[in-house]
Amino acid sequence: MADVFADVLKKLREVQRLAGWSDEELAVLEKPKRVLKKTLRAGGKQYAALRVQYNDARGPMKGGIRFHPAVNESEVTALAFWMTLKCALAGIPYGGAKGGVAVDPKKLSAKERETVSRAYVRAFAGHLGPLIDVPAPDVGTDAQVMAWMLDEHEAISGRHEPAAFTGKPLALGGSRLREEATALGGFFVLREALKKFKAGKTVAIQGFGNVGRNAADVLHAQGYTIVAVSDTKGGIYRPQGLDIAAVGKQKDSKGTVAGFPGAKSVSSEELLELPCDVLIPAALEGQLTEENASRIKAKMVFELANGPTSPEADMILRKRGIPVVPDVLANAGGVTVSYFEWAQNLTGWYWEADEVRSRLEQVMVRAFEELYDEYKRRKGIDLRTAAYILAVNKVLEAERARGRIA
């Protein structure tokens, strides 16, 4: 199993030389503040559970909870680190965290999912809360899971605290546009990136879950041609473009996009190497590797998944002149609207969809402009390196203001 966090540390030390951080400064970002581990007991079975709280210099820690059989400490720690950078890059007042349960949610009944969800909150009670650490949905979890978790949290705390979890149903204080927030925020960034890097509008999307499907819908509605999509059961390719609404209907009825009429069948791995202007990995980590990076035909890689590109693939793509818009900005729309939800919960003042969309666009466009300026100013670096420099500098600024470092 790949040590994802080891790759994070390697990148961080590599960027240190360019950014000029001292060893004391680097030490602040090299390890999480807290790693919490528990064994959940639900339905006569046991599941390993984690919550990694990485950094809280800029505010309460923030990050999703995933239910996936491959959940492990290295992966969750890397995701918590990236959340720290993501929140800093977007300019929102959060630190970073992440959580997970090593379970296959597809093998759980609805009742078992609820039992595991509530057990997670009980396991980490005292470490979660609106001013401590605010979870949200991630891979394998959704608004219903957040509803169960919030209910359990409030039963333990004895008071209403809707701001303790985000990504909730509207009935419990969720924000409008939360479901499509990652995809919509990604669209705003992609639109600006294409102005700078002059790529076209044909798109291949690996992953057709919440993020990938919403990305296909949003981009198709904005005039982009979606030539390929895939899910865990297979993929489809049509160079002239797919009817995304029809693909979505098949996904709902058959549970997969595979076998869509009039499209060529491809695997998720083959999709990555198809000719297109923009390749969007929107599934899991580690999809672009040293092995396949030399065969990527896209003119731009846009990371809606977390950590889809290995350091070796990054280097190959950079040498080939293929820009990679990094996950820490590309998919920050989700945590940005989570921040909006949290703010609405704390104030009791709720916004209409148009206001959420307008505020999201403002945040994402500003963050991209900041990143692009840093990228241009430091000639010869890639966008990911520029993102690390910008985000870490913001975290270090907060650490200095608190007196934690000189």
pLDDT in tens, 59-107: 999 999 999 999 999 999 999 999 999 999 999 999 999 999 999 999 9
Architecture of domain 176-345+354-406: 3-Layer(aba) Sandwich (3.40)
Pairing of strands 234-237, 264-266: antiparallel
pLDDT band at residue 285 using 50, 70 and 90 as cut-offs: confident
Between CA 40 and CA 42 the distance in angstroms is 6
pLDDT for 406 equals: 84
Ramachandran angles phi, psi of 261, nearest 5°: -60, 135
User: What's the pTM?
Assistant: 0.95
Q: What are the residue boundaries of the structural domains of the chain, listed by start?
A: 35-172, 176-345+354-406
Confidence of residue 120 (pLDDT cuts 50, 70, 90): very high
For the cut 60, the answer to whether the pLDDT of residue 1 exceeds it is no
Q: What is the mean pLDDT of residues 264-289?
A: 95
For the chain, the first-to-last Cα distance in angstroms comes to 38
pLDDT given at position 286: 86
For 35-172, the fitting CATH number among 3.40.50.10860, 3.40.50.360, 3.30.750.200, 1.10.3720.10 is 3.40.50.10860
Confidence tier at 379 by pLDDT (50, 70, 90): confident
129 DSSP 8-state letter? B
pLDDT per residue as tens digits for the range 173-231: 999 999 999 999 999 999 999 999 988 999 999 999 989 999 999 999 999 999 999 99
- Active site amino acids: 98
Q: What is the pLDDT of residues 224-235, one digit of tens each?
A: 999 999 999 999
pLDDT value of residue 32: 97
User: What CA–CA distance (Å, rounded) separates 342 from 94?
Assistant: 11
Q: Across the strands, what pairs with 65?
A: 99, 137
The predicted structure's pLDDT at residue 327? 96
Q: How far apart are CA 367 and CA 325, in angstroms?
A: 12
CB contact burial 310-324 (16+ within 10 A = b; e otherwise): beebbebbbeeebbb
Domains 35-172 and 176-345+354-406 share a fold: yes
